Amino acid sequence: MTNEPTDRHLASPELKPRQGDLFNIDCALTEDERAVRDTVRRFVDEKVMPIIGDCYVEGRFPKELIPDFGELGLLGANLPEEYGCAGLNNVSYGLIMQELERGDSGIRSFASVQGALVMYPIHAFGSEEQKRHWLPRMAKGTAIGCFGLTESDYGSNPAGMITRARQQADGTWILNGGKMWITNGSQAHVCVVWAKTEDGDSDGHSIKGFLVPTDAKGFASRLVKGKLSLRASDTSELVFSDIHLPADAILPKSGTLKSPLMCLTQARYGISWGAVGAAMACYEEALSYSKQRVMFDRPIGGFQIQQVRLADMLTEITKGQLVSLHLGRMKDAGIFTPQQVSLAKRNNVNIATDVAREARRLLGGNGIIAEYHSMRHMANLESVYTYEGTHDVHSLILGQAVTGMNAFK
């Protein structure tokens, strides 16, 4: 046994800290992981940043970028190559989410829903025919999907959903109900709908997943209007009125509420990285501004109060990066848990929200106009704080994990 230091836990111990990476996170990433991150960062800088402010103000998702998502392999990037996906590890997938949300939460949400909430359940619960039909097209971005779980009255309590799929004598299904706050809902070609298949089910034991084409008779979508957050994202309400589905529309390996919750675990993992990306964007903007904005004959970055702000931002971002990186390594090793994902999502979105607010304040009056990005991120992160399990829901998940007692009921 030796107490000598070792660098075997570092992927690239030879790397020295680069500008903007005070804690040398890069040395914990492999060359391939850094290459993935840098590729997506260039895409965001060259294609997203020039247009995202206008998209936000106009309230539109930039559909013109979807072919780039497919060409770069950003959709379902951690799913197998045999289905047309990139086959990357989960750390690389997380870095993709980080860089996309450096651009905008709506941009990351598009990729996150497509990959973690649509492609993942098709891969995990679908038939081989369903996988072969949908996954290669979705990886290319030529088919878009959405995920229908949340309802107007059942968000944090999805087991209470009222959407029903009733099986007919010939094995087909009739679907009725509706879903709310659905990302990609008005541009999707297919929706993964979660519905109860038995009456009197109060705990979600009869919940199954169904692949529902959005051009099916009885399917309707309506954009949610008046949003003050996630404005560069397609958020919709879905209505299902006597939709007739073939017998093979069901995801055959899905069953009980556990199935959609498994999907949410995948999405929450990506959010933990994405939130850090939003925080990084705000910190970098605030740091740059502090060096250029002159007040009382000196850059404001030379004043103690602004240096404290920047130091606090950097510290919280660094902790968030390390949480997500370690979680990604555990996910790649197959030893992560949903409770660990809850901790990462809860912590990182919370710190990102604080960083965005402090960056906005450092920017002063300029911080409220679309030319700068921190207030856009701040508004977006209020939605991220709420969706995929609210901050308080994740608190209760962690509370149950450490006490062994269920406080949900």
Q: Would you please indicate which residues are annotated as catalytic (active-site) residues?
A: 388
Burial 49-80 (b: 16+ CB within 10 A, else e): eebbbebbeeebbbeebbeebbebbbbbbbbe
In this structure, are residues 191 and 147 in contact, taking their beta carbons and an 8 Å threshold? yes
Residue 205: is it exposed, middle or buried by C-beta count within 10 angstroms (0-12/13-18/19+)?
middle
In this structure, are residues 207 and 256 in contact, taking their beta carbons and an 8 Å threshold? yes
In three-state secondary structure terms, 180 is strand
Beta bridge pairs of residue 190? 145, 213
Q: Tell me the C-alpha to C-alpha distance, in Å, between residue 362 and each of 19, 162, 170, 351.
A: 21, 46, 64, 16
Q: Tell me the C-alpha to C-alpha distance, in Å, between residue 280 and each of 47, 52, 310, 358.
A: 18, 17, 11, 12
Residue 402: CA count within 13 A, CB half-sphere: 8
Instruction: Please list, in sequence order, all residues whose beta carbon lies within 8 angstroms of the beta carbon of residue 256, skipping any fewer than 6 positions away.
Output: 204, 205, 206, 207
- In whole angstroms, give the CA distance from residue 229 to residue 406: 32
Q: Which residue has the tokens 């680069």?
A: 18
Residue 143: is it exposed, middle or buried by C-beta count within 10 angstroms (0-12/13-18/19+)?
buried
Q: Which residue has the tokens 């404001």?
A: 300
Residue in 196, 280, 290, 277 with CA at minimum distance from that of residue 240: 196
- In whole angstroms, give the CA distance from residue 172 to residue 250: 10
- In whole angstroms, give the CA distance from residue 383 to residue 386: 5
Residue 331: CA count within 13 A, CB half-sphere: 25
